[in-house]
Amino acid sequence: MASLTTLKLTNRSPKQGIKKLPPSIDLPAGATVEDVKKLIAKQAGINDHNRVGLFYTSTRKTLKDRKAVIAEDKDVAEAGEVLVKDLGLQIAWRTVFVIEYLGPILIHGLAVAARPYLVKDPSMSPSQWLSFGMIMAHFVKREIETLFVHKFSANTMPARNIFKNSFFYWAFSGALCAWSIYYSPWSLAATADQPLVDAAGTVLYLFGEISNALVHLYLSSLRSSGGTERKIPYGYGFSLVTCPNYMYEILAWAGIIIASRDWSVALFIAIGAGQMFVWAKGKERAYRKEFGDKYKKKRFVILPGLL
């Protein structure tokens, strides 16, 4: 397999193919998937190598690990060929997350700041202020983790996806939750007067947020800077579920639900939990495939006894 020196290239979409795609390229020793993308981009006149997508000829699935030595990939070596596609304008994953989480911060901040100009009584109840603080702190934490903690296996994603990805956060945890908590005539937080309930929500929220942050820091420590390697995680919650970071995030949002008493917050995290379940199932399959018997299989991926 390691003797592969020439790689045949074929447009994955002949009708919308890369016009200047070379029929083949010579592979330098130890060339990675990312190296191949750079070679193709240079020869095809593509200004950003991240636009180049490589796919297996047999399954037409993408070659995900950009740091993998392409000659050591069994399927590629046997075929001696990959399919190539221009993925279009790209944007960094880190930038996508920063924009996603910025929405709720701006919307909730503006919603509270605008109350004196939009309602007769601009004062907010303790429960409303608590809900505001929880939501703002959550997304500020997410921004800090995005900038300084998370390590991404992929460099970029198609730029058009940012609108789809951001809509969920800006519309649901941003606009919908802000309106329902601070402005809706049916807001339970506006009339709440149960300090013990607020305290219970706060304790659950802090436990979830702190635990989620600890798991993120641990996961970051398992990957080298710029690397794509995967290791088997152990410890804080990993004996219970595949992705304890999702479990703790759901618990934190459960704390916000208790404090806000709001249906919109419950709707947001219910939809989010559904997506997290899909991601966690995929991660469980990946762990089982990559590590085999070394990995202790999990029955539940995000919530013990439930999901």
DSSP 275-306: HHHHHHHHHHHHHHHHHGGGS---S-SSSTTT
Determine the straight-line distance between the first and last CA of the chain, rounded to whole angstroms. 41
| CB-based burial, 64-100: b 16+ in 10 Å, e otherwise | ebbebbbbebeebeebebbbbbbbeebbebeebbebb
Decide: 212 and 249 in contact? Cβ < 8 Å: yes
Decide: 45 and 51 in contact? Cβ < 8 Å: no
User: Structural domain boundaries of the chain?
Assistant: 6-88, 91-294
Helix or strand (DSSP H, E) at 165: helix 161-167
Tally: H helices and E strands in the chain:
11, 6
Chain-centroid distance of CA 294 in Å reads 26
- Which residue matches tokens 């606009």? 175
Predicted pLDDT at 99: 97
The answer to whether the Cα torsion of 104, 107, 113, 117 is positive or negative is: negative
- The torsion defined by the Cα of 35, 37, 43 and 44, in degrees rounded to 10, comes to -170
Predicted pLDDT at 32: 95
Query: Could you give the CA distance from residue 232 to residue 276 in angstroms, rounded to a whole number?
Result: 19
CATH architecture of the domain with residue range 6-88: Roll (3.10)
Query: pLDDT of the chain along its 307 residues, tens only?
Result: 447 899 999 999 988 899 999 999 999 999 999 999 999 999 999 999 999 999 999 999 999 999 999 999 999 999 999 999 999 999 999 999 999 999 999 999 999 999 999 999 999 999 999 999 999 999 999 999 999 999 998 889 999 989 998 999 999 999 999 999 999 999 999 999 999 999 999 999 999 999 999 999 999 999 988 888 889 999 999 999 999 999 999 999 999 999 999 999 999 999 999 999 999 999 999 999 999 999 999 999 999 999 9
Query: Could you give the CA distance from residue 182 to residue 180 in angstroms, rounded to a whole number?
Result: 6
- Residue partners of 239: CB distance under 8 A and separation at least 6: 296
Q: Half-sphere exposure (CA, 13 Å, Cβ side) for 144?
A: 9
Decide: 95 and 156 in contact? Cβ < 8 Å: no
Nearest C-alpha neighbor of 115 from the set 191, 170, 190: 190
Predicted pLDDT at 1: 44
pTM (predicted TM-score):
0.93
What is the side-by-side order of every strand in the sheet holding 24-26?
A: 24-26, 6-11, 81-86, 52-55
Which DSSP symbol is given to 28? P
